[in-house]
Amino acid sequence: MTCRDCKDYRECIGKEWFHFGEIRWCPYQVIFILANADTLRAGHWPQDPDRVDDNAGQKRIKTEGAFTKSILILAEVETRLKRTGIHGKLLVAQVEAGREFSNLDPDARAALMYVKGFKRKRMSFGAWKKARKHYQKVNVGEGVDNISKP
């Protein structure tokens, strides 16, 4: 089951490969894209480890080049990462070093959470981090003392 079916990215835990039609920008899919950036930049989608041959002998007329989907998906991730500055570079370095979602540094994880999602965030990365920190404080209960009671 993938994010496309369940709308919950925790179902993608431990999945090694995603088809380009399954990409819904969950954290695990973004890590997959960053881990395979060299292959995608070359215009190829990474091979499915469970299938021997992706060409099943079917001949179809395509309206676009075979390389476009891989390059467009990588370009979208890189465009989103540029908005995160040094945190995005840290995320790329940690993914290239083989780190998983569970053991990323907090700054790299923040960049990943900013990059994930179906659409680009409208806020800048700094404003998003402040809003997220405030939201977490209020939900945990740390900010409740400052509210006047009627």
Residue 4 predicted with pLDDT over 70: no
- The average confidence (pLDDT) of the chain is 82
Angle subtended at Cα 19 by Cα 6 and Cα 81, rounded to the nearest 5 degrees:
85
Give residue-wise pLDDT tens across range 91-126: 999 999 999 999 999 999 999 999 999 899 999 999
pTM: 0.78
- pLDDT on residue 145: 47
Query: Hey, CA dihedral for 72, 76, 79, 85, is it positive or negative?
Result: negative
Instruction: Say which residue the tokens 């995603």 belong to.
Output: 18
Give residue-wise pLDDT tens across range 27-56: 999 999 999 999 999 999 998 888 765 555
Cβ neighbour number for residue 82 with a 10 Å cutoff: 11
Query: How is 34-96 classified by DSSP, letter by letter?
Result: HHTHHHHHTT-PPPPTT-S-S--S-----SS-TTHHHHHHHHHHHHHHHTTTHHHHHHHHHHH
Task: Map residue 17 onto helix, strand or coil.
Answer: coil
How big is the chain, counted in residues? 150
- pLDDT on residue 14: 79
Phi then psi for residue 46, to 5 deg, are -60, 145
Give residue-wise pLDDT tens across range 82-98: 999 999 999 999 999 99
